[in-house]
Amino acid sequence: MSTPSISRFPTPSITELPQDIADRILAVREKSGFVPNVFLVLAHRPDEFRAFFAYHDALMDKPGGLTKAEREMIVVATSAANQCQYCVIAHGAILRIRAKNPLIADQIATNYRKADITPKQRGMLDFAMKVSVEAYKVESADYEQLKAHGFSQDDMWDIAAISAFFALSNRLANATDMRPNDEFYVMGRG
């Protein structure tokens, strides 16, 4: 059986990349032991790579009211709704590790309403899904529900921004036929 390409677009070798991008990819490889395909696929367009990861990092790697695991829950739930194989598999692995729970990513990807999460987390995901799939229907009552769960204004912005950013990411991953790395399937499972 032949190995599928990681994208329908060309992927540059690390040695061909601008130094800042190569350094970032090598740092990821050093930390994780492999290069997630998203880095190689997006490196095809260096300026967009920089912009994408700058916004990604601003949303996903910051302190705030949402834990890193909750941020990943948003990515997994909304990516499942958008049928993005790459993001469900890759961020599911990250979620399993950050939540220290080998079951949670599969539960959330399949049906977050049945997952072993708190009512607050379910409210977060209800809102995230609405932003991801039907943003035009978001209204004041949605924010009131988040407030009732104890989310701050900054948390509400983060939920919306993560949902919106990964809607873009899901569409780009699907359009490029981005393939998840095999390593993601086993991470955090045992």
Q: What is the pLDDT of residue 190?
A: 82
Q: What is the pLDDT of residue 1?
A: 39
Q: What is the pLDDT of residue 5?
A: 86
Q: How far apart (Å, rounded) are the C-alpha atoms in residues 111 and 120?
A: 16
pLDDT per residue over 20-65, tens digit each? 999 999 999 999 999 999 999 999 999 999 999 999 999 999 999 9
Instruction: Taking residues 120-125, report their average pLDDT.
Output: 98
**How big is the chain, counted in residues?**
190
User: By three-state DSSP, how is residue 34 classified?
Assistant: coil
* R_g of the chain computed on alpha carbons: 17
Q: What is the pLDDT of residue 59?
A: 97
CA dihedral over 46, 158, 123, 132, signed as positive or negative: negative
Using the predicted structure, report yes or no on whether residue 143 has a pLDDT greater than 50. yes
Residues 6+ apart with CB under 8 A from 44: 7, 9, 10, 11, 12
For the entire predicted model, the pTM comes to 0.95
Q: How far apart (Å, rounded) are the C-alpha atoms in residues 97 and 79?
A: 18
Q: How far apart (Å, rounded) are the C-alpha atoms in residues 183 and 137?
A: 38
Taking the CB of residue 162, how many other CB atoms lie within 10 A of it?
Answer: 25
pLDDT per residue over 151-181, tens digit each? 999 999 999 999 999 999 999 999 999 999 9
- Of 10-14, 15-19, 71-75, 94-98, the one with minimum mean pLDDT is 10-14
Q: What is the pLDDT of residue 4?
A: 62
pLDDT per residue over 62-121, tens digit each? 999 999 999 999 999 999 999 999 999 999 999 999 999 999 999 999 999 999 999 999
